[in-house]
Amino acid sequence: MPGYSAFTLVRNALSYHENWQRAWRSPEPRPEYDILVIGGGGHGLATAYYLAREHGINNVAVLEKGWIGGGNTGRNTTIVRSNYLWDESAAIYEHSLKLWEGLSQELNFNVMFSQRGVMNLAHNLHDWRELNRRVHAIRLNGIDSEILNARQVKEEAPILNVSRDSRYPIIGASMQRRGGTARHDAVAWGYARGADARGVDIIQNCEVTGFVIDNGKVAGVETTRGRIKAGRIGVVVAGHSSVLAEMAGFRMPVESNPLQALVSDPIKPVLDCVVMSSAVHVYVSQSDRGEFVIGAGSDAHVSYSQRGSFDIIEGIMGALCELVPMVSRMKLMRQWGGIVDVTPDRSPIIGKTPVEGLFINCAWGTGGFKSTPGSGHAFAATLAAGEPNDMAGPFTLDRFRTGFLIDEAGAAAVAH
Amino acid sequence: MFLIECPWCGPRSQTEFHCHGEAHIARPKYPDAVSDAEWADYVFNRSNTKGVIYERWVHNHGCRRWFNVARDTVSDRILAVYRVGGKRPEVTP
Ligand SMILES: Cc1cc2nc3c(=O)[nH]c(=O)nc-3n(C[C@H](O)[C@H](O)[C@H](O)COP(=O)(O)OP(=O)(O)OC[C@H]3O[C@@H](n4cnc5c(N)ncnc54)[C@H](O)[C@@H]3O)c2cc1C
Ligand SMILES: [Zn+2]
């Protein structure tokens, strides 16, 4: 595969960029593979990439019912950070952040990872104490994290309203400077291109409609493009995890809820870090195009409609106008929803299912864009060995039976 | 956003209500007698159906009463509203 470089950019400019090579093939599915990955979001594609790259397994296909990256991967607000409270989470999110730091070079694809810093605001005494506790716990895990007072917050983000009599006074914030944002599509495309170059078949418009199960062991899938055989299969379908589990005959501790995001009209650069507030469910950053990218909360009801409720937008915009008063004079250009798969402890599930040979990687919920590289890396190791690796181990589906929950719900609340 | 037909107050905006998840989940009668797996199924597993779901709503900014709803989770259309303890109505999405 010819690489991308400044030289190829100049050469292709001479032919008006009409002759770029395709980034990946569009092969017909073969009747059988060693490993199938269901779901062509970032996590599925990263899994396939690392299977080929780290484990030398390239008789692999990724089956995607629509277009790759069209699910939550292409719908999220792209915040990347690793400041999680519990050791198990810290390990996998920090592993992921380290992979992000070299990802554009690794993939020869600019994923536009920008370590502009992620700030989490505290609005009251309880927030402040909790934030201090978290920052110290996070630092004990060797992850960068600092505490800012209100004056420092204002210096980092002058557009914030830090006056004492505002509705949501800002007491201070935590800051992870290595956190930031990345280009969502590029992550899907970069992994797809890298996997394809190593022999993985990426098969789009191919919906899995059932499993072939033989004596409790998976033997293949039924798809809209016919039956495909494989003795080892990884399900990476985010909001549709329960649907695929039902096809395979087991139940999941997961609910699928709409989560929304919106963008404003573009303005000149005024915000060069990510600002998040768990208390008012606001998270905002400014894209390279100048738009404010704003994340809203999720609905409490189950839905597969990819649309959230309007009152959620109303609530979040009300809070944002208080925190960032200039927003009241901006227009919102677009709004959309994705379907996020959420567990009771707000931690993902990676590992075995009750069906032999069938593995699952899901429930990244409202915050799994940041973990795309780490999750793919851990799941590839799990699929290659047939056993969860150290990083995936604690996130077993079985934890809901044993009681070893990883309660990020209480620890990280709603934030991404 | 939905318009929800409260059995007591009539059609009201969704903002007055809160959804409390799947209905018809019965607590095992003898918790000591069930296995860990059965208990986990009761506490954590949910149908999360793509299609018709039966769920509990409460009119918390109105009459504050609970009731059940049958809803198509693909179109978000509400297909039936019925009382807590009532039988699941047969509906087609
Ligand atoms: C509005 C919003 C904002 C978010 N903000 C952030 C954020 O700031 N930071 C962060 O870290 N995370 C965020 N997230 C969460 C993040 O987007 C997800 O956790 C992550 O993208 C999940 O990636 P995935 O590859 O697992 O899923 P997806 O990208 O959803 O991919 C799953 C794929 O499976 C396919 N599929 C489903 N069923 C089938 C089938 N039967 N056969 C074949 N294919 C199938 C789907 O078409 C889809 O492409 C946000 C999510 C949303 C919706
Ligand atoms: Zn009522």
In this prediction the ipTM stands at 0.96
Q: How far apart are CA A61 and CA A200, in angstroms?
A: 6
Mean pLDDT, rounded, of chain A = 95
Among A100, A108, A98, A188, smallest CA distance to A144 is for A98
Helix (H) or strand (E) holding A218, with range, is: strand A217-223
Residue A414 pLDDT grade (very low, low, confident, very high; cuts 50, 70, 90)? very low
Q: What is the pLDDT of residue A413?
A: 44
CB contact under 8 A, A242 and B49: yes
How confident is the model over A183-194, as a mean pLDDT?
A: 98
Sequence-ordered list of residues with C-beta below 8 angstroms from that of A66, at least 6 positions apart, any chain: A204, A205
What's the total number of domains in chain B? Answer: 1
Q: What is the pLDDT of residue A280?
A: 86
Q: How far apart are CA B7 and CA B59, in angstroms?
A: 10
The pTM of this model reads: 0.97
In this structure, is residue B91 part of a structural domain?
no
- Percentage of the residues of chain B whose pLDDT score is greater than 70: 99
In this structure, is residue B15 part of a structural domain?
yes
Range of the domain at B65: 3-83
Ligand 1 neighbourhood includes A153 CB (under 6 angstroms): no
Ligand nearest to the CA of A312: 1
Atom nearest to A338 CA in ligand 1: 53
To the nearest whole Å, the CA of B74 is away from the closest chain A CA by 5
At which residue do the structure tokens 């106008």 appear?
A321
In this structure, is residue B89 part of a structural domain?
no
Best residue of B17, B44, B48 to probe chain A, by most A CBs closer than 10 Å: B48
- pLDDT beyond 50 at A200: yes
> Between helices A372-385 and A184-197, what is the axis angle to 10°?
30
pLDDT per position as a tens digit, A264-323 = 999 999 999 999 998 888 899 999 999 999 999 899 999 999 899 999 999 999 999 999
Chain centroid offset of residue B30 CA: 24
Listed in order, strand segments (DSSP E) in A266-348 are 274-277, 282-286, 292-298, 332-342
Q: What is the pLDDT of residue A181?
A: 98
In this structure, what CATH number is given to the domain that contains residue B14? 3.30.2270.10
Facing residue for B50 by CB, picked from A253, A304, A310? A304
Q: What is the pLDDT of residue A224?
A: 98
Residue A284 in tokens: 């905002």
Q: How far apart are CA A135 and CA A137, in angstroms?
A: 6
Among A322, A90, A358, A353, smallest CA distance to A213 is for A358
Best residue of B44, B52, B53, B61 to probe chain A, by most A CBs closer than 10 Å: B44
How confident is the model over A350-367, as a mean pLDDT?
A: 97
Query: If you measure from the C-alpha of residue A342 to the centroid of ligand 2, how many angstroms do you get, rounded to a whole number?
Result: 29
Whether the Cβ atoms of residue A299 and residue A366 lie closer than 8 Å to each other: no
- pLDDT beyond 60 at A415: no
Q: What is the pLDDT of residue A204?
A: 98
In this structure, is residue B92 part of a structural domain?
no
In this structure, is residue B60 part of a structural domain?
yes
Q: What is the pLDDT of residue A26?
A: 95
Residue A310 at interface with chain B, using a CB cutoff of 8 Å? yes
Q: Give Dmax (Cα) for chain A.
A: 67
| b/e per residue A26-49 (b: at least 16 CB within 10 A) | eeebeeebebbbbbbbbbbbbbbb
pLDDT per position as a tens digit, A97-152 = 999 999 999 999 999 999 999 999 999 999 999 999 999 999 999 999 999 999 99
- pLDDT beyond 90 at A13: yes
Sign of the CA dihedral with A86 first, then A91, A96, and A102 last: positive
- Partnered with residue B78 across adjacent β-strands are B71
Q: What is the pLDDT of residue A410?
A: 62
Query: If you measure from the C-alpha of residue A368 to the centroid of ligand 1, how many angstroms do you get, rounded to a whole number?
Result: 8
Residue A163: C-alpha distances to residues A53, A67, A148, A173, A323 (Å): 52, 46, 16, 15, 10
Residue A365: C-alpha distances to residues A27, A76, A84, A199, A394 (Å): 31, 11, 15, 30, 17
Residue A254 in tokens: 């997961």
- pLDDT beyond 80 at A90: yes
- pLDDT beyond 50 at B15: yes
Nearest CA in chain B to A306: B74
- pLDDT beyond 50 at A34: yes
- pLDDT beyond 80 at A259: yes
In this structure, is residue B63 part of a structural domain?
yes
Q: What is the pLDDT of residue B69?
A: 97
CB contact under 8 A, A255 and B48: yes
- pLDDT beyond 60 at B29: yes
To the nearest whole Å, the CA of A128 is away from the closest chain B CA by 29
In this structure, is residue B25 part of a structural domain?
yes
- pLDDT beyond 90 at A51: yes
Q: How far apart are CA A49 and CA A45, in angstroms?
A: 6
φ and ψ of A106, to 5 deg? -55, -45
How confident is the model over A46-65, as a mean pLDDT?
A: 98
Q: What is the pLDDT of residue A411?
A: 56
CB contact under 8 A, A304 and B18: no
